[in-house]
Amino acid sequence: MRSWWSKIFGDSSALCWFCQSPRPKVIGNPIWEQLCAGCTEKRKMLAYPQCRVCGKPNSIDDSFCYDCQRTPESDRVVNISCVEYNHWARLVVQQWKYRGDERLSRPMGLWMASLIKQRFLHMDRFMITYVPCHRKRVYERGFDQAKQLAHIIGAQLHVPVVDLLVRQSYQDQPQSKRSRDQRLQALVGTFSYQGKQMDSSGQSVLLVDDVYTTGSTVRECAKLLRKANFQPVACTFARTNSEYV
């Protein structure tokens, strides 16, 4: 039986969901607080105000950031992210994605679900889809990461998850290692739409991905979803907070 002390001040047996170090446990604390002191110090929440489109922290207000000003209005996609893609977030994503640590999907997905609930509550009817991996990549890694996040978010928010996109080309080099121009070039024809054509416009769809860097992947997928009469918005676990790379 737990002591009155641990009921009030926490249970020292709780572990950080990322590095497995002991952490204080307080009943009901959100997933971003279920980290050890070291991870809490290293993770960086995205400051407000943010660009009203892509979620990049702005110093003054929620006006369009420089990146979004350069993007044609019809291509802009509203994106929200949980954390800044700093050294800590990169370690989380690397361990999850490249070392195949599937256990991280759940805390990452719960974190995203909580942000979606807070920011996209006004969307009364929406479905969830994701930026898919190529089938060869799924075979190599053992799971489709964004799909797994989408299903965790869907289950948490009671929202259906649909497979709408398919990745056609298999990249031997991860997007994160490419320059901006190489990235844009490599994305042409990468995805195709595989869902049904929607009868009426106005169906909101939430596009899930792990990292938002330049936003080019999200915009490319959103383009296909718009063609099928969806209204896409995006949620990514982490986003960079620097100028275009």
Using CB under 5 A, list all residues that contact Zn ion: 16, 18-19, 21, 36, 39, 51, 53-54, 56, 65, 68
Contact, 165 vs 129, CB < 8 A?
Answer: yes
Closest contact distance (angstroms) between CB of 54 and Zn ion is: 3
Closest contact distance (angstroms) between CB of 120 and Zn ion is: 17
For Zn ion, which is the closer residue by CB, 63 or 201? 63
For Zn ion, which is the closer residue by CB, 39 or 228? 39
Closest contact distance (angstroms) between CB of 245 and Zn ion is: 15
Closest contact distance (angstroms) between CB of 84 and Zn ion is: 14
For Zn ion, which is the closer residue by CB, 51 or 80? 51
Number of H helices and number of E strands within the chain? 9, 6
Helix (H) or strand (E) holding 138: helix 135-141
Closest contact distance (angstroms) between CB of 169 and Zn ion is: 27
Nearest residue to 89 (alpha-carbon basis) of 243, 217, 239, 242:
239
For Zn ion, which is the closer residue by CB, 69 or 169? 69
C-alpha dihedral sign at 219, 221, 222, 223 = positive
For Zn ion, which is the closer residue by CB, 19 or 123? 19
The number of angstroms, rounded, from the C-alpha of 11 to the middle of its chain's C-alpha atoms is 30
Strand boundaries in 66-143, DSSP class E: 79-84, 126-130
Contact, 241 vs 211, CB < 8 A?
Answer: no
